[in-house]
Structure 1
Amino acid sequence: MAGRVPKSRLARGSRLGRLAAGQAVRGVGTRLSMIGRTEAARQVLAERSTLQAAQQLVAVLGGMKGAAMKLGQMLSVLDLDMVPESHRELFRVKLGELRDRAPAVPFSEMRTVIESDIGPLARVFVDFDETPIAAASIGQVYRAKLRDGRMVAVKVQYPGVADAIAADMRNLEFFSRLWKSVLPSAADAEVLEEIARNLDTELDYLREARTQHSIAARYRGHPFITVPDSIGEYCAHRVLVTELVEGESFDRLRGLPDADRARIGELVYRFYVNSLFFDNEFCGDPHPGNILLAADGRVAFVDFGLYQYMDPAHVELERTCLRAAGEYRAEDLYESWVGRGIVDPATDVSPRECLGYVWSAAGWHLLDEEITITPALATGALVLAVDPRTAEFHGMRRQHLPPEHVFSRRADLFTFAALGQLEVTGNWHRIAREWLYREPPSTEVGRETARWKGALR
């Protein structure tokens, strides 16, 4: 069991500093200990070091909750250079515990939050399982039964987590040090600022309840996708009650046959990517812990604390720029970026560099052929997007991406990373043409979805 969530800036900064130092020292020590060893001995040492590194990250970040734990969840879907290639899967599996099996806060503390927000448990629930079914960065999730017999999921905010997030926002230098210790090529403060800034919106569960109710209504009756509805009468600022989804976790989905994973991958793409261009809104937290395979075969999506609405003009700019890149119109792309203030014409950034950068970071939407997304491929795109320091794209380091585009790019890249965990194959451009060019769907899933939408009108 985890202790109380540390709330002060000093306490949280000290833990992050020690964690970063420990990761760096462990890496040096492991390399030194391998000198003169046999290959078999090196394998044992590498595996031991990998597990120790992952266990330390899970224990410290999981116990801290807030932005610290969110950082660990992000790392769990990446292909990290700090880990030997032969042991990266072992590392990711262990770090994946931060998505739904992080160290839990005792129920006695969580019960205090519930009852202070919605009243005595017995007045609302006929049964409440005190063992959490998931432990995330902001709160824990429990299984319960309402007095009317409905099975529900109850998400409860950690005591003190609001103070912890406020401390994290003042501790970005410690996050940068930790970020650099595990992913040296992507240690920029802008990424960390975006994490901390948007985590603050996750604290308002009433806002999330309204968002989830709206999304659940939109997908009600969908042939392939389901979103559990919130139950507003029992929701409060720190307690969120929703319908319970019984299903298979993302880790189980990874073992499905190729065709099943391809179908799920298409649905993940449609839910997280298509929604921006069709509805001007999107979920900013597309990680594996929020994706389930429901008992009825539909893919279920949960957790809408990081949900954003985007100005249609900004969405149209994204579409216009991606179309220009896909059609190799480098000058048009460059002019669009200059007009939005993303690129300063006084710098040496060239149209060709802009074009190459978009293709490297977002080419999976643009290439008209089947692509198998792997963790390494997804990590490469994410690192390039947040830290384009390669010789080829050094000028892009000075781009000024507006906040709304930073958030949408993060959602796009972490959708890519989630699909990389599935190692799924698909022609993503064929799906993208629906929002790039407003063409009719070319897949059976797309056509069936279009028929369903047509029947609603």
Structure 2
Amino acid sequence: MAFAGRQAAGIGKRALGKSTAEINADIQLRTAQHIFEVLGELKGCATKLGQLLSLYELALPSEIAAPYRTALSQLQDAAPTMLPATVHEAMTTGMGENWRWHFSEFDDRRAAAASIGQVHRAVWRDGRQVAVKVMYPGARQAVLADLEQLRRISVLATVFAPGADVPAVTEAICTCVADELDYAAEADHQRRFAAAYADDPDFVVPNVLTQRGDVIVTEWLHGTPVSRIIESGTPAERSRVGMLIIRFLLSSWSRTGLLYSDPHPGNFRVLPDGRLGVVDFGACTPWPPPGFEELVGELMDATFNGSTADLDAAIRRHRFVRPGRNFDVETLAEGLSAAGEPLTSPTFRLSTAWLRGHVRSALAPRLSNVNRQLDMPAYFTPFARSFLTALGVVCQLETEGPIRAEFARWSPELAAALERHDARRAQPVDLGIVRHLRAVPPGRRASIVG
């Protein structure tokens, strides 16, 4: 109704002599502001939803995306700041009355905002510089209340995805977000990642010093935020960082048994020695679930080497369409083949223009859009969140490199499908290096493929 009201106002302005371009720009600006206002009312989940909406912003034509970009930026900047007295109270609740004993220095000013808390710089008693993550008082209750609201309004999503089991997917999303309220679990996740990537030539995960209640203390990472690399990095540096993000995400579940589900730019730092630092492990899920490797192998084999009948069978076998429902398998095959282009070229350049084209096609509000006919199994939700968020980041970085080899290195099923694709097209197989890399200890891989 709000959008309709803005359109009606636009008609009135047209009568007063405003151009169509001016009216459309005004509607876009007001719509973006309305999105910001609605998200601002969701005190607990606003930032998380804003991160997901940033992918939608990328899908818009550049000439009308600016108002949405501005609104999302406002949303990030609108995170509340705890006053020193509130910080001290939260620290006392989490670590006890003598919490200052653990620190030789503690900066009351916020160093960074987290989605449901804020981070402070401090110095641990042994002299190490540390990051102290403190949850906002009342954040847990606010997030849980927001999730109940999302459950109530999720039925509206059936308008855009009539073929999906929206309640099941909504519940999976709510579970993912609610899990991020558990700082004890987050600390355990981070310890697993820190152990798995200790002394790694590519990555740094800060060690956890302690976790008590809604407070986590970890080593401080000195580095350049990836958001700054996106804005001002050289093409070579942006590509290098983008490939590192891809490598980290693909390697993480084989090395930790966990899927890193929150790969937005604020969670990555480029260290002075060139390694990629990773923070914030609240959104992690045990991975892969049973059958995931088979899904990758069968779906990719059907896409690159099979017939539409093979793709139809794979989609149905892995529950990406509801039983008894028809879908346009020919159109889906064309879409998957086009989207899979980075996996069929030795090198590929991901870009926002490339992403914009595919996302706009996927979200097109046509009744004939095949994506409206498909479902997504609830178990797949964390992977979809991680994949789509990471895709947005690496496309903003304009990443160019051997994306195909990086994916194949960590997925034997995908590598086998790509080798069959090469053989079928009489192309020379370029995946021999992948087999070699799997035989090399993880700590030495960085020096072999840059």
Which residue of 91, 101, 109 maps to 1:131? Answer: 109
1:209 is displaced (CA, Å) by 0.5
4+ aligned runs moved over 6 Å, structure 1: 177-180, 442-449
Report the 3-state secondary structure (helix = DSSP H, G, I; strand = E; otherwise coil) of the residue aligned with 2:199.
coil
Structure 1 equivalent of residue 344 of structure 2: 367
1:5-404, aligned counterparts within 5 Å? 21=2, 25=5, 29=9, 33=13, 36-37=17-18, 42=22, 46=25, 50=29, 61=39, 64-79=42-57, 85-86=62-63, 88-89=65-66, 91-92=68-69, 95-96=72-73, 98=75, 102-119=79-96, 120-172=98-150, 193-231=171-209, 234-254=210-230, 255-276=232-253, 280-311=257-288, 313-320=290-297, 321-344=299-322, 346-349=324-327, 351-359=329-337, 363=340, 365-368=342-345, 370-379=347-356, 381-382=358-359, 390=366, 393-394=369-370, 396-404=371-379
Measured in 2, the distance between the counterparts of 1:59 and 1:341 equals: 37
Report the 3-state secondary structure (helix = DSSP H, G, I; strand = E; otherwise coil) of the residue aligned with 1:414.
helix
Report the 3-state secondary structure (helix = DSSP H, G, I; strand = E; otherwise coil) of the residue aligned with 2:57.
coil
1:261 is displaced (CA, Å) by 0.8
1:448 is displaced (CA, Å) by 9.2
Measured in 2, the distance between the counterparts of 1:427 and 1:229 equals: 31
Structure 2 equivalent of residue 6 of structure 1: none
1:44-83 per-residue CA deviation (whole Å, 9 max, x = no partner) reads x948974x766665576457442232111222343367x7
Instruction: Report the CA distance shift for 1:108/1:304 in structure 2 as closer, same or farther (over 3 A).
Output: same
The 8 Å contact of residues 343 and 399 in structure 1, kept in 2 or not, is answered as: yes
Structure 1 equivalent of residue 444 of structure 2: 452
Identify unmatched segments of 5+ residues in structure 2: 417-430
Structure 2 equivalent of residue 423 of structure 1: 398
1:293 is displaced (CA, Å) by 1.2
Measured in 2, the distance between the counterparts of 1:364 and 1:279 equals: 29
Q: TM-score by structure 1 length?
A: 0.78
Measured in 2, the distance between the counterparts of 1:451 and 1:62 equals: 44
143-152 or 87-96: which moved more?
Answer: 87-96
Measured in 2, the distance between the counterparts of 1:97 and 1:268 equals: 26
1:411 is displaced (CA, Å) by 1.2
Measured in 1, the distance between the counterparts of 2:436 and 2:113 equals: 36
1:214 is displaced (CA, Å) by 0.9
Instruction: Report the CA distance shift for 1:59/1:338 in structure 2 as closer, same or farther (over 3 A).
Output: closer
Percent identity reads 30
244-253 or 335-344: which moved more?
Answer: 335-344
Instruction: Report the CA distance shift for 1:376/1:139 in structure 2 as closer, same or farther (over 3 A).
Output: farther
One-letter identity of the residue aligned with 1:252? R
One-letter identity of the residue aligned with 2:216? L
Identify unmatched segments of 5+ residues in structure 1: 1-19
Measured in 1, the distance between the counterparts of 2:220 and 2:131 equals: 5
1:42 is displaced (CA, Å) by 3.8
**CA-atom RMSD in angstroms:** 4.0
Measured in 1, the distance between the counterparts of 2:174 and 2:356 equals: 21
Report the 3-state secondary structure (helix = DSSP H, G, I; strand = E; otherwise coil) of the residue aligned with 2:290.
helix
Measured in 2, the distance between the counterparts of 1:306 and 1:174 equals: 23
The 8 Å contact of residues 235 and 241 in structure 1, kept in 2 or not, is answered as: yes
1:202 is displaced (CA, Å) by 0.4
Report the 3-state secondary structure (helix = DSSP H, G, I; strand = E; otherwise coil) of the residue aligned with 1:79.
helix
Q: TM-score by structure 2 length?
A: 0.79
